[in-house]
Structure 1
Amino acid sequence: MNESYEGLYPFDLTQEQEERARKIHEESIVIDMLFQGPLSPNAIPDSIADKLKEMCEEYADDPMTYSRMPSKLIMAMSKNGELPAFKEEWYQSGITAGNRQLSLSSQESIITSIADVQSQFDAFDWLTKAKTANDIRNAKANHLKAGIISAQETDGLGKNLAFLDSLYDFGLRMLQLTYNNQNQIGAGCAEQANGGVTNFGVQFIHKLNELGILVDTSHCGKQTTLDACSHSNHPVVASHTGVENLFNHMRCKSDDEIKAIAKTGGVIGVFAMPWFVHDDPNDTTLDHVLDHIDYIVDLVGIDHVGIGTDWPMSDVTWSLVYFKEHIAPKLGFKKGNGPSTETVKGLEKYGYFINFTRGLVKRGYTDQDIQKIIGGNWLRVFEEVCG
């Protein structure tokens, strides 16, 4: 980690507390279980953002492609060395392991996203594929970073469970059952009908158990989450969510869901989405995010909470504005109620990730408990399910 520690959130720690937080952060395995970084609009120069806008104009007639193209170009620029901040921000963050995400929305996207994700491992000699918990431990020991392959949708799989074998062989280790809406597995959190898991969904969950792929319920509806916990033989997770009792949003989990996930031995990852954890996205701070962590610890114990920020994105501001206006409503988000340009104060860039550890020190957690929250709990459940 860079010794400058830019962007420290004003927790008003003593010098002793600051030194303790830095020591914990630097020595621990740190895992962000829904890692959209390492870049963010604040880490990408304006000159690059302007250049990307020019490059994307030819796709303006295709809203979905136009929205997704900047992040693809950012990755390409990172791989060819035009954006050194990609590596710099990841190492500054202290994050040992984070997601590299596949798109399983269609068979075409499965093929292209596998190629895109594999190209990251091929391009960066400091990035390793995490198929087991020991892969993550080895990355930490060798000053490398680990990518956990995950996906948030399943539509492209249809009802062909054999696809999961191939994806597992590639490295898929966490899969979300639904993304907001109804699919063949169950009802998402944006569905009016709280339908739960389908008959096929039960088969799907058992197949994930058989292979050793984490069952993720983040965007699932309440009954789907409860059903997943009931049918899974392995720990279930919600990689990125919040507490409904603190902020009543469709993307947050009820006490019953949190308790059910914990009962399986699973982990609830708290996100840093300004619109989903506090009523004013323009004034959402890391303290508001930590409130959700505290609540889960009080409700189900220290062993069942982690971090899955899901924000900020490796994208540019103009693209995020376009996404909110044109794409988010198609994904089940209500107008004005989805990802945009705001960030949590204290996590404007992934390089500021140490603020989580600093905030937990401020709130009186022990060193051991902090280590569990910032990565130890994820490592435990990853090892139990994936090996």
Structure 2
Amino acid sequence: MTDIKEGPSSQAQPAEAMQQKNYSGYKSFSYLEAGTDFKSYPLSVELNRVNSTRVEVTPQQEARVRQLFQDNLMISLHDHCFVAPQDLSQFLEFRRWGRDFTGYEGLSVSGLDAVFDNLMNGTAMITSRGGWKWDDIVFDLGMRLSDIAHQEMVIHCKTTEDIVNAKKNGQIAFIASIEGAAMIENELDRLDILYGLGVRCLGIAYSEGNQLGGGLKEPRDGGLTSFGRQAVKRMNKLGMAIDVSHSGDQTSLDTIEVSDKPIFITHAGARALWNSNRLKPDDVIRACAEKGGVIGIEAAPHTTLTAKHPQHSIESYMEHFEYCANLVGIDHVAFGPDALFGDHVGLHHALTEALSIGASRGHLEYTEVPFVDSLESPAEAFPNIVRWLVKHGYSDSDIAKVVGGNVMRVLKAAWYR
């Protein structure tokens, strides 16, 4: 086994796959009997669902891409690695059963060594149509981890050592993450409980404001509340990473200031390129970087658009990456594609209200796409991102930073171990 490095690569890569994972063919909840133990829904295919474009590189460049995957940690800062049902009109009913089906087959070819998986989040509506309830979040987390415990390729990650060992062992580290903290209500100790249950990254607020602070859809953002300040300090003490991707601008700035440790913007882009509340203004991106933090570039449909590329694809996505890298330096940028297995655009249509999709749309004209070309699912996102970086002349050392090294640096500072 090649030694794992967080720096540049140098050796030749003869293998055909990005990196071989120990996938046995396991499908979610196959230890139970579908139709008897739970209601069965036809699910989307995990591979080649649509005709998404592979970034073209020369054979020599492809060999370099494969070597980069072999030698360096590949960490997605934000994804939802579940498989959506084929019939999205049934999605809310499907969610009420509380079973998220992990895309193990798709993950096995993704090249990822670790992924911040954000579970059902606000679509965990087992007991409530509003979502974000404590019981639903705990149900969602426990059910997902029960399934993960019945196979060996994906492991529940709690430490940075788990990430390194996962790569060595042909596995993928699953980092349980939640995008907003509404479910803790005014109970500070619930942060400890979430940590004890294995959550290692938590957002301050989703689009709606909560007890901690303001979300991006609120007409006014009053910033981090007194309780929110206590929560940030508690997360620092626990060793839980903090995310402000969906938080309002002032709440984001306050969180960065109050936190003793660097934080993440796990999935966003630059508002300077596209006028959307879902993206971050320069002052927030700079403040995050100045504190040692990292911004992961977002690829959910119709988010990281630009005036130059108003049709969402890897080109508009990487324009946001390059803007942020030029703004704050290559040490403070990573990738949080926010992809899933299934019709992401159709899902947004089905869940416009629940996911506050309107707040994520920019104020410029754009062309709706059926999928984000070259970034359609977790199976293809990182391979195409690395191909794009190689094709555009990035050095091995810089690529190593943005695909995993920068994230690991923050985790070593933010996590307990």
Same fold (TM over 0.5): yes
Which residue pairs with 2:86 in the alignment?
Answer: 49
Task: Write out aligned runs for 1:248-327 (5 A).
Answer: 248-278=275-305, 283-311=311-339, 313-316=340-343, 321=346, 323-325=347-349, 327=351
Structure-2 change in CA distance of 1:315 and 1:68 (3 Å): farther
* Residue aligning to 1:133: 160
CA contact (8 A) 1:234 1:264 kept: yes
**C-alpha separation between the residues in 2 aligned to 1:288 and 1:214?**
28
Give the distance between the partners of 2:350 and 2:385, measured in 1 at CA.
32
Shift of 1:326: 5.1
Residues in 2 aligned to 1:335 and 1:163: alpha-carbon distance in whole angstroms: 28
Report the equivalent of 1:91: 108
Higher helix share: 1
Tell me the matched-pair count: 355
Aligned with 1:188 (options 177, 197, 215): 215
1:29 matched residue in structure 2: 73
> 1:365: how far off?
1.0
**SS of residue paired to 1:351:** coil
Contact 1:97 1:147 in 2 (8 A): yes
The residue aligned with 2:128 is: none
For the 8 Å contact 1:182–1:188, the answer to whether it is kept is: yes
Q: Corresponding residue for 1:381?
A: 410
Aligned letter for 1:3?
E
- 8 A Cα contact 1:190 1:333, kept in partner: no
Output the TM-score relative to the length of structure 2: 0.78
Q: 2:195 aligned with 1:178, yes or no?
A: no
Paired residue secondary structure (2:358): coil
8 Å Cα contact 2:278-2:361 kept in structure 1: no
One-letter identity of the residue aligned with 2:293:
G
Compared with structure 1, are the counterparts of its residues 362 and 74 closer, same or farther at alpha carbon in structure 2 (3 Å cutoff)? same
Q: Give the distance between the partners of 1:262 and 1:118, measured in 2 at CA.
A: 33
Cα separation, partners in 2 of 1:292 and 1:186, compared to 1, 3 Å:
same
Amino acid corresponding to residue 345 of structure 1 in structure 2: D
Tell me the C-alpha RMSD between the 2 structures. Answer: 2.8
Q: 1:273 to 1:286 in 2, by over 3 A?
A: same
Q: Which moved more, 1:28-37 or 1:140-149?
A: 28-37
Q: Which amino acid aligns with 2:16?
A: E
Structure 1: how far apart are the matches of 2:360 and 2:273?
20
Q: Is the 8 A contact 2:99 2:140 kept in 1?
A: no
The C-alpha deviation readout for 1:361-384, integer Å capped at 9, x for no partner, is 122111011011111111111121
Give the aligned partner of residue 236 of structure 2: 209
**Can you list the C-alpha shifts for 1:179-217, whole angstroms capped at 9, x where unaligned?**
012111111111111211111111111111110111100
Q: 1:166 to 1:272 in 2, by over 3 A?
A: same
Deviation at 1:175, TM superposition (A): 0.3
User: How many angstroms does 1:120 deviate by?
Assistant: 2.8
Please tell me the residue identity of whatever aligns with 1:306: A
What is the one-letter code of the residue matched to 1:372? K
CA distance in 2, matches of 1:291, 1:212: 33
Offset of 1:325 from its aligned partner?
4.1
Partner of 1:19: 63
Code of the residue aligned with 1:219 in structure 2: it is: H
CA contact (8 A) 1:127 1:147 kept: yes
Instruction: State which of 111, 121, 130 in structure 1 corresponds to 2:138.
Output: 111
- Answer whether contact 1:329 1:335 (CA < 8 A) is retained: no
Q: Would the alpha carbon gap of residues 150 and 185 (structure 1) be closer, same or farther in structure 2, given more than 3 Å must change?
A: same
Residue 196 of structure 2 corresponds to 169
Partner of 2:3: none
- More divergent stretch after superposition (349-358 vs 137-146): 349-358
Q: CA deviation at 1:15?
A: 2.4
**Any idea what SS the aligned residue of 1:275 has?**
coil
- Higher RCO (CA < 8 A, seq sep 6+): 1
| 8 A contact 1:217–1:237 mirrored in 2 | yes
More moved, 97-106 vs 86-95: 97-106
Which is worse superposed, 12-21 or 250-259?
A: 12-21
* 1:329-340 equivalent positions in 2, closer than 5 A: 329-334=353-358, 337=361
Q: Is the 8 A contact 1:282 1:342 kept in 2?
A: no
Q: Give the match's secondary structure for 1:49.
A: coil
2:152 aligns to what SS in structure 1? coil
**Alpha-carbon displacement from aligned partner over 1:332-385 (angstroms, at most 9, x marks no partner):** 3328949x9832211223222311101011221110110111111111111211
Residue 101 (structure 1) aligned with residue 118 (structure 2): yes
SS of the counterpart of 1:243? coil
CA gap of 1:202–1:336, structure 2 versus 1, over 3 A, is closer
Answering whether residue 372 of structure 2 is matched by residue 344 of structure 1, we say yes
Contact in 1 for aligned 2:263/2:414 (Cα 8 Å): no
Change (3 A) 1:204 1:336: closer
**Following TM superposition, by how much is the alpha carbon of 1:125 offset from its aligned partner in structure 2, in angstroms?**
1.4
In structure 1, C-alpha distance between the alignment counterparts of 2:55 and 2:140, rounded to whole Å: 40
- In structure 2, relative to structure 1, the CA distance for the partners of 1:343 and 1:27 (3 Å cut) is farther
CA 1:285–1:65 in structure 2 vs 1: closer, same or farther (change >3 Å)?
A: closer
* SS class of match (2:136): helix
Task: State the distance in 2 between where 1:36 and 1:330 align.
Answer: 16
Q: How far is the alpha carbon of 1:34 from its aligned partner?
A: 0.9
